[in-house]
Each structure stands twice: as structure tokens, then as C-alpha cells.
Amino acid sequence: MEKSEMKQSEYSVVIIGSGVAGLYAALKFAQMRKSAEKILLVTKCPLGESNSRYAQGGIAGVIRINPQDSVDLHTSDTLKAGAGLSDEAVTRYISGSSENILFDLIQNGIKFDSDESGNFAYALAGAHSLKRVLHIGEDSTGRGLIEVLVNKIKDIKKICVMEKSTVVDLIVNSDKKCQGVIIYNKDTNEHEVVYSSAVVIATGGAGQIYKYTTNPYGATGDGIAAAYEAGAEIQDIEFIQFHPTALAQNPNSKNRFLISEAVRGEGAKLINKNNETFMQRYSNKGELASRDIVTRAIFAEMKRLNTDNVFLDTTVINHDKLLKRFPTIAKKCKAIGIDITKTPIPVAPAAHYTMGGVKAEINGKTSINGLYVIGEAASTGLHGANRLATNSLLECVVCAYESARNLVNSDLTITKDLDENTDKIINEYSAPVKADEYDITALKNRLREIMWNNAGIIRNEKSLIKAKNDIEQLKKEFNRNRKCLNLGEYEYRNMLTVAELIIQGAINRKESRGAHFRSDYPKRNETAEHSVIVKEE
């Protein structure tokens, strides 16, 4: 079989993904390491397009000028939400680092909202004991962070940005050392070998494997799939957080706009089609219960009344305050004919956040030497079984900072000595692939239906086994082992991998805990621990 020569290049560090974690890691490495090493920032979408951009509620932080708050209190809130699976040491470190990191963001041009006195305008989010959430543009924190970080990145010459490209494989030798990546460029339809001393995965989550999601189209689990295929440990992947309140005016709309938890924090009430409040029947915390409880409560009400959604009554909030605090939400709703000062918002749960992922330390280190994973693609132990709202952006920036600091003090010598394992990877991408015709859109939709109906908000042995068998059938129909023809095929390949991991983790976890609810095992098993899945060699 004839092989083609792939383009080759070298960079000291390759960072995959341009959400808050990837951008901040690139920025801090460039700022900390004054030498001339080149950094490659690879992004499948236009620079800055990511899950992070759509984060509304804000970023949690413990700042000493907020005298009622403390690291102990924030840690306690996180551990409670995490349902016994959050790592206390990790949680305490990330919370304790928040002040320094937030002020570093401010020094880099981030401007958090302030009140009339010029002090930070703290907000309350569900399951937090008090107001500790900082925000930008009231309800557009993610976009505010992204825009500043993108502008900073563009001014740094030693950061090379490769857009509309995706890492489709990691070059890992038989000693479990990552030596680089294989990149696919959507525009040129070409593959490239990039050798590097370190690779940082910051590709976000995998919400697109579910029928309904708040995630953008690029959230297909690419980084998690690549790390798994390379032999990295995957931890707690069965814990998928479903956001309880996504805009659901049209039941056929798959990608759903997020209605921030902060809206409930400001006093909005959930009501059913009969205009009845119902959260008090499910939790004494009402609308401010943790996301898993609110999600299952809404799901139960929808099933009980045979409806496609419930409603979030924002009319109970002062009109001026509502429009000032949530301008993005008000604008989005107005565009579809909903005046949130007068009309409740139709909402329903949607897949939102991948709490498990590649097992990683706070500095991003994984079980593969030279491979780092940060942000939503990582499982550091912070979120446990149920992420506390607004902790995700905090984890992104703290772990990005720590990974950059670790890399700055590392030996960044690039080694190109290939062995049988790495040769095999490169050769497979050099060879032609059979041009089978696949309707990738239809295949993705089948996968999403399978996951939503059988491995979603409520699970059981029967549904999970069905999902497993259905996914295996999809894999048989899709005759691709490694190399694919286009971006859609690569995304689908990765979605299949992550779907299988979620299903396997859910089958193995025979209990209900946090976001993972098994109707056949409705109680929590106090002896259960973290789940870890590793690819068999």
C-alpha cells in the first residue's frame, strides 16, 4: 500500500484547545518562560470558540476582602456537592489558590463586575453557602474571559495558533512517553506530525454525545478519546452533569441555550405546566438544591405531567434587576419572543458538563509521561460526583497556571527517537484510507438518541446493556480503526469511544451518587470509590 509523506514540525509545547484552560496555560507558560521556545496552540474551531465561552454564572473564588467566606467553607460546599467523591486535598488547594489566580487574571486585563461602591459584585449560585461568585458582563463571564485571553495570545509571537485543526492521535512510545501528536487540518484535508516535549490537552467535554446539550458543536470528547486510546487512565467518566435549566421552547432543538443557575440564585422559581411550584417536594433547599437534585426533580415533573418542559418563572424578580443582571439571557429569549420580565422561560435538562475524564493531578500530569490534561477533559478529583456551580472555570485557571509552572521548570528537549509503537501510529496516518460513504450526521444522531434514552439522567442495568449493544453495532457499521477521511468522521470516532467509556463506567457503578442515578440501585454505596478505566493492550 502506497504511503504519503506527512508534513513534520517541532514545538516545545503543544496545547490542544482554546477555551479558558488552554488559553491561560499558553499565556502563563509564555509569560513565565522567557526563552524562545515555540508553543503551538491547536484549536478545532476558531480561536476562543469553546464550552468556556458560553459559561454564564461566573467563577467561584475565596478572597480575603470577603470576610464571611473562607477556604474551609468553600471546600465544605464543594465536598457536599461532590457526594463523597471530591478529593479534599485537591479541593482545598484549588480553593486556596483562587485569590492569587483571580488577581493574576485582573493583572492580565480581566475586569470583574463591581457594585456601586467599586467592590466586587458577588453572586450566589446553587449549593453555595454565600455569595462568592465573580462575574463579567453580569451573565457573560466565559465570553469576557475568552476575549481578553485571546487578545493577549495574539500579541505573543512565540505562540503559534493553528485553527480549524484537531489532534487525532497522540504519539506515545512503548515506555508510555508522549513524543508529539498527529494533527488533521480541516481546510487542507492533510495530516501533520508534530514532535513535542510536552502535550497539554484542554479540549473540554463531550456533551455532543447526548441528544440535548448546552455544549457547542465541537464538544465531542476528542481529548478524552485520544488520551484513552494512548493508554491514559480515565476516571469517573460515568458522571455527566445535566444542567437542569436549558432553554426548551422547541422540543426538536438539540443544542440548547443555557439559562444560568444564577437566575435561580436571584430568586426565580421553577413551575410546572399547572403553574405550580414543585421544588419544595424534592428538596428543602428548593431551587437552590444541587444540580443533580434539581435535574431529576424537573425530569420527574415532565414525566408525571407528560410535558416536554417546565418553566422558570423570572417574573418574580424585580424587572430592572433582572434585565441588568441577565442581559444575555434576556436578549436570547427576546429573540424568540419571550419577555422574561413578563413570561416564564420554558426549560428542560440538557447534558452540560463532563465531570470525569482523564485522571490528572492539579498540574495536569497524567499516567503518560509528557502528557498533561487540564480543564473539563481532566478528572482531578475536584468535582466528584456532582460539580458545584462555577467551580469549573476556577479549576480551569488554577490547573492551567499549575501546568504552566510545571512545564517552565521541566526539561523541554524534543526527542524524535521512534520505536515500533510510534512508527506504527505514524505509518497508519501515512497510508490511504478507503473512501466509504457515511452519513455522519445521521450516525451522530443515532448515537445521541441511544445515549439520551439509555445512559442519561436515569439509568439501569437493562438500559445500559442496551446502550452498550447499540454502540457496538454502530462501531461495526463504521469501518474506521484509526485514520478517517474528514473532521466529522474523527468526531464520530471519538464520540463512540467516549460513549462506550461512559456506559462501561455506569454499568460498573452499581449505586446512585450525585449525577449518576441508577433506578435499580437507588441508594448510595458508602464503600464505592473512584472508577478507573484503562485500555487493554
> Do residues 51 and 173 lie in contact, with contact meaning Cβ atoms separated by under 8 Å?
no
Q: Return phi, psi of residue 371, to 5°.
A: -110, 125
Going by C-beta distance under 8 Å and a sequence separation of 6 or more, which residues neighbour residue 257? 214, 246, 247, 332
* 382-416 core/surface letters (b: 16 or more CB in 10 A; e: else): bbbbbbbbbbbbbbbbbbbbbbbbbbbeeebeeee
The helix (H) or strand (E) run that includes residue 143 is helix 141-154
Of the candidates 264, 291, 296, 509, the residue annotated as catalytic is: 291
How many H helices and E strands in the chain?
Answer: 14, 17
Known catalytic residue at 405: no
Which string of DSSP letters, residue by residue, matches 239-260?
Answer: -EEEEEEEE-SSTT--B--B--
In Å, how far are 172, 191, 489 from 431, measured between CA atoms? 19, 11, 17
Sheet holding 234-235, edge to edge: 378-379, 357-359, 234-235, 532-533
- Cell digits of residue 448: 445521541
Cα separation, 412 vs 433, in Å, equals 34
The sign of the torsion formed by the CA atoms of 124, 55, 229, 194 equals negative
For 355-493, list the strands marked E by DSSP.
357-359, 371-373, 378-379
Which stretches within 266-367 are classed as H helix? Answer: 291-305, 319-325, 327-335
The helix (H) or strand (E) run that includes residue 203 is none
In Å, how far are 271, 356, 384, 496 from 516, measured between CA atoms? 25, 11, 11, 20
Cα separation, 348 vs 427, in Å, equals 47
Instruction: Quickly tell me which residue has 482545598 as its cell.
Output: 92
The helix (H) or strand (E) run that includes residue 14 is strand 7-16
In Å, how far are 287, 339, 424 from 263, measured between CA atoms? 10, 15, 52
Cα separation, 282 vs 302, in Å, equals 14
Which of 172, 200, 173 has the alpha carbon at shortest distance from 364? 200
Positions marked catalytic: 291
